[in-house]
Structure 1
Amino acid sequence: MLSRLRAWLFDGAGTGELPERVQAAIRRQQEQSEILIGWVQLAIVVLVTTVYESTAMPTGVVQEDYSFEVEVLAIYGLFCLLRLGLAYARLLRPWMLYLSVIADMALLMGLIYSFHYKYAQPAVFYLKVPTLLYVFLFIALRALRFEARFVLFTGFVAILGWTGLILYALGGRGGPPNPTDDFVEYMTGNALLLYAEIDKMVAIVLTTIVLALAIARARYLLVRAVSEGVAASDLSRFFDPGVAARIRGASMSIKAGEGELRDVAILTVDLRGFTRLSTELAPDAVMKILQEYQGRVCPLIAAHGGSIDKFLGDGILASFGAVVPSPTAAADALRAADAVIAAATQWSRERQAAGMPPLEIGLAVSSGRVVFGAVGDGERLEFTVIGDAVNFAAKLEKHNKEEHTRAVTDAATYRLAAQQGYVSAGPHERRTNRSVTGVAEPVDIVILAP
């Protein structure tokens, strides 16, 4: 039972068992918290100094030559600056954090202790000063790190400090303690009511315990949130960014069989001769070529508003206006096609210059109305586009071989793109009444790259 409680309070529900990347993410959150704590500590120095130095002595009272509080505040300020610098440098260690807690409480108790000198009163006088309320601020400050152990340690040090001040006042070394059981006398004079001081310590203890329990629960949620956030970040790499954003922003659970009609443009890209090449090269070399090819093509598609629907081996299927409706889908698709063609031409030249066989691409663009939605069996889902425009783009891409071209589109898509603002970089040849395998009617096509 005790071991489970200790693990829950101090280990954040098993953070040591988490993958290293998740633990690293949690450490980054804690490092950011320490920076915030450092700035709050500096603000406390300024606030306490302002309040303390603005208090005036009673009229006619001569203050003793006792001004250690100025040096204390100055030293504490330098300590906070050093701590803040270490926090920014990510060099803070647990023992430094414990030392910081001790420094916080030493400052607070030292200031409280100095009040009976400042106002020339017996030591029991300082037991009533409102400065004690800062102890709750220091305890709460440790909650920013989301580790219960520092909250508990801060509360423990605060209790020790306040107990020391009570014992000093009771000992009579700072003047007569004047113990009393009369609450009115305690409130109106320099008398010590022990039960009142015990009440303060109980408040500190209860605050510490409640905060520690709250932080333990919050840390558990933090661990879960960071774990799920890292997992979501990793998984999002397997999705198009637009699809990932759609999944994250969905107000309800996404189900298979739900779809929407979209007017889109479809772009398909294929790496020619890759199937043969994959049988001749080592697996690592094959994957390296794929990575290089996709690393050049995919960013260009995304830069022009396209979403990668799927990778089909060396083939890429992308849609424009499906994930997010767009009034310029066809124009964006042709601009992306121009950029992909230029990049592929440059890549082929680089390979040839390096003594490697050049690689060519086949590309096609079509447009039309499709259904965009989730398909799958409920356990595994995939967002995709379904419709004639998708099939037509695939057939057009294969038709490149018949035309001895690298990239084509149909005349209707080309005309639509022009209406949407597309301007070709050069003249594009138009070929009419072409017979495309799998398409019943003749097709007018436009050559994007011979």
Structure 2
Amino acid sequence: MRSTLGAFLFGKETDAHLPERVQAAIEKQQAESEKLIGWVQLLLVTIFASLYAISPTTAMNDDIRPVPWALGLYYLFTLKRLALAYRNALTNWFLTLSVIADIGLLMVLIWSFHIQYMQPASFYLKAPTVMYVFIFISLRSLRFDPRYILIAGGTAAIGWITLTGYVLWSEGGTSMITRDYVTYLTSNSLLIGAEIDKIIAIILVSVVLAIAVMRAKRSFIRAVGDEILARDLSRFVSPEIADRITHAKQQIKPGDGEAVTATVMFTDIEGFSGISEKLSPKELATMLNEYFTETNAVITRFGGVITQFEGDAMLITYNAVKPDSDHALNAIRTALAIQEISNTRIYSFGEKLKTRCGINSGEIVIGAIGSEDRLTFTVHGDNVNIAARLEALNKQYDTYVLATEDTVQTCGDHADIPEWTPRGEVTVRGREAPTRVFSISPALLSDQNAAQAASHVTDKVTS
């Protein structure tokens, strides 16, 4: 019952043990909010001072002017607080003290009016400056911490009770009390009900703001957590796929997808099993990180998106996740650039890594597959399977880049694309219709040009 009521009032409860990075992000946001609060308070005290300076002097006591002193004290306090906010030196106890001081100084300022103008103490209870109490209370909502709202509201309520009590004490008990509302408004008489109304309003505003801020805080914490989660997940899937998932108009469900004409490329490292046997797990991870860092730089440069990793293999798409009118051409350029890296780059274990590529163009489906609780956002379809089969067929033809006729025709003739070599028709495992395939090799490079090509890729990675 208690938890149900709490959820109804304050929203869904958040995890009590937030990850440190989420807590750090929230604290950073709160620190920025304190700077904003400080500037608003500085603006308020400036407004107080300006209104006092331009208002006609109606004081009957030329010797006692407490208002300028109260404003000056509050101005110095606000400056000090703003300086501490920029130094991130605002502790919880100082924040609590500053909230009490904000309201306390305002109450002192209101109290000083009857001295300034030599009127009965009940005079200050009608001062419109009391409206600033609500401004100071609402300012605390910028921090997303309901504690300080309640502290401000409680201090204001106690302060107004004290001011009302002072009127009763200074005016000799009940002599100033009236039950007539007109008399209250047109004289210095005290209407107890009116002051109780102000106290109730202060308390209710504080409570409502605290509830609203608690609800907003819980939503804010979930939003910060979701943002960090999305940012972390984007390191495990391509940013383009992460962006597509997070900005979907509706929640993505199994089977959701769309048909697009695209180019798909599968890559795999030649002899990876043998390499793995020679290396320790740490050495293998280091080698793969080097390999994927360099190949990812090339893939990104030509507009490809790594849709899926599987061990040392990659599924790369062009014009599937993001638009690319030259998808076949860019896939071929990527494959050739990877071959240049394979021929020139020596990795941490002292050898080169040869990479086989299978490329096909055609209509594919991009979307989510899996169950309601576990989804994978990928591409699928017959043309995806063909690209996967071609990658494996490289071993049979002793080649490193195989592409279908659809890819070759879609790519067209370009000066930087070497001549294609027909490999005949093959019946790809799993299909009945034969597929015409072509192989291609990067143009022969001199040792100097090869070194320059590898250096260019390395520069792209480090930059």
1:206-355 equivalences under 5 Å are 206-345=204-343, 348-349=345-346, 351=347
Cα pair distance change 1:203/1:258, threshold 3 Å? closer
| CA RMSD in angstroms, aligned pairs only | 3.4
User: Are positions 1:133 and 2:131 aligned together?
Assistant: yes
Q: What does residue 411 of structure 2 align with? A: 417
Task: Give structure 2 stretches of 5+ with no counterpart.
Answer: 445-463
Q: What does residue 45 of structure 1 align with? A: 45
Code of the residue aligned with 1:128 in structure 2: it is K
Q: What does residue 448 of structure 2 align with? A: none
1:1-400 equivalences under 5 Å are 13=13, 16-58=16-58, 62-172=60-170, 178-345=176-343, 348-349=345-346, 351=347, 356-400=350-394
Q: What does residue 432 of structure 1 align with? A: 422
Code of the residue aligned with 2:356 in structure 1: it is G
Displacement of 1:200: 0.9
In 2: Cα distance, 1:292 partner to 1:266 partner: 23
CA offsets per residue over residues 348-378 of structure 1, 9 Å max, x none?
24x3xx6722223223433222122222233
Do the aligned partners of 2:104 and 2:155 also contact (CA within 8 Å) in 1?
no
Cα pair distance change 1:11/1:394, threshold 3 Å? closer
CA offsets per residue over residues 255-287 of structure 1, 9 Å max, x none?
223332211011222222221111221112212
Cα pair distance change 1:323/1:10, threshold 3 Å? closer
Cα pair distance change 1:412/1:15, threshold 3 Å? closer
What TM-score, normalized to structure 2?
A: 0.83
Code of the residue aligned with 2:37 in structure 1: it is I
Do the aligned partners of 2:263 and 2:331 also contact (CA within 8 Å) in 1?
yes
In 2: Cα distance, 1:139 partner to 1:391 partner: 64
Bigger shift: residues 219-228 or 256-265: 219-228
Query: SS state of the match for residue 180, structure 1?
Result: coil
Do the aligned partners of 2:342 and 2:354 also contact (CA within 8 Å) in 1?
yes
In 2: Cα distance, 1:182 partner to 1:107 partner: 31
Q: What does residue 453 of structure 2 align with? A: none
In 2: Cα distance, 1:337 partner to 1:40 partner: 58
Do the aligned partners of 1:434 and 1:445 also contact (CA within 8 Å) in 2?
no
In 1: Cα distance, 2:5 partner to 2:83 partner: 34
Task: Give structure 1 stretches of 5+ with no counterpart.
Answer: none
Cα pair distance change 1:72/1:415, threshold 3 Å? farther
Do the aligned partners of 1:414 and 1:446 also contact (CA within 8 Å) in 2?
no
In 2: Cα distance, 1:356 partner to 1:340 partner: 18
Q: What percentage of aligned pairs have identical amino acids? A: 41
Displacement of 1:129: 0.8
Query: SS state of the match for residue 207, structure 2?
Result: helix
Displacement of 1:14: 5.9
Do the aligned partners of 2:340 and 2:442 also contact (CA within 8 Å) in 1?
no
Q: What does residue 449 of structure 2 align with? A: none
Displacement of 1:39: 2.4
Cα pair distance change 1:432/1:355, threshold 3 Å? closer
CA offsets per residue over residues 106-161 of structure 1, 9 Å max, x none?
23112212322333322211110111011111111112222221111111111222
Query: SS state of the match for residue 440, structure 2?
Result: strand
Cα pair distance change 1:30/1:310, threshold 3 Å? same
Code of the residue aligned with 2:277 in structure 1: it is T
In 2: Cα distance, 1:284 partner to 1:139 partner: 57
Query: SS state of the match for residue 226, structure 1?
Result: helix
Cα pair distance change 1:174/1:314, threshold 3 Å? farther
Code of the residue aligned with 2:440 in structure 1: it is V
